[in-house]
Amino acid sequence: MSALNIDQIKIDISNHDYEYVKMLGSGSYGNVFLCKSLKYYDFFAIKYIPKSKVKDEEYISLIKLKHHHIIKLYDIFSESDSTYLVMEYCPNATLKQKGKLDYNEFIYYSKQILEALFYCHSQKIAHRDIKPDNIFIDKYDRVKLADFGFAKQFDHSTITNERCGSIMYCSPEIIKGVAFNPFQADIYALGITFFYMATGKFPFPHFSIDNLKKAIVFCQIDFNKYNINSEIQNLIAKM
């Protein structure tokens, strides 16, 4: 992002009583900045999205979903050619950054993630981008499921061909290009996430896209290479 754009973003958010602090992260659909509210004297994560990439489903999902393990959306505003989502700030990194967890940590965080995803699915919303990068830890050491840019509402019996998300977390059906249930695909992606949480590594080789796709389709996971609690291993295998 150019300095000129950053300067414009600073102006945009200052029009709504926020002060730019720093960039927190960037992606294909937007960038997230740490900002300070001049009204509430607290920090927020503000997601900047060019209007050409705005996906209504993201903020519709966050408005609809009210749960203590799902990131809170506090405000939405638009300036010129951009939309901004004001969300709670989680200062304790992501599960991707935490890497391998010990048994107690795994149980503590996994229960919270399951609660969040169960709630999403009960509201007929599939997240469609479950991965450790999108699971944040707040200042109270609680999980917050975030990044609903691919989220979409479906009936539970829906079979779809819509493909999205990161390849490492895509189910075999998605890789093969056949129809799949988006809620089941979320569970599969969470299984891959749990594997990362338990080992600090990914279950499939990813030195090439072709090899990664083949490994996913044939589900070539060698649990013997890792020291994983047997109950956690069984849970991951089922997912």
Would you name the residues annotated as active-site residues?
A: 129
Separation CA 152–CA 130 (nearest Å):
13
Q: Pick left, alpha or beta for residue 30 (phi over 0 → left; psi -120 to 50 → alpha; otherwise beta).
A: left
145: nearest Cα among 115, 170, 167, 185: 115
Separation CA 11–CA 9 (nearest Å):
5
Separation CA 17–CA 200 (nearest Å):
40
CB 86 within 8 A of CB 129: no
Neighbours of 21 (CB within 10 A): 14
**Non-local CB neighbours of 60 within 8 Å, separated by 6+ positions:** none
**Non-local CB neighbours of 40 within 8 Å, separated by 6+ positions:** none
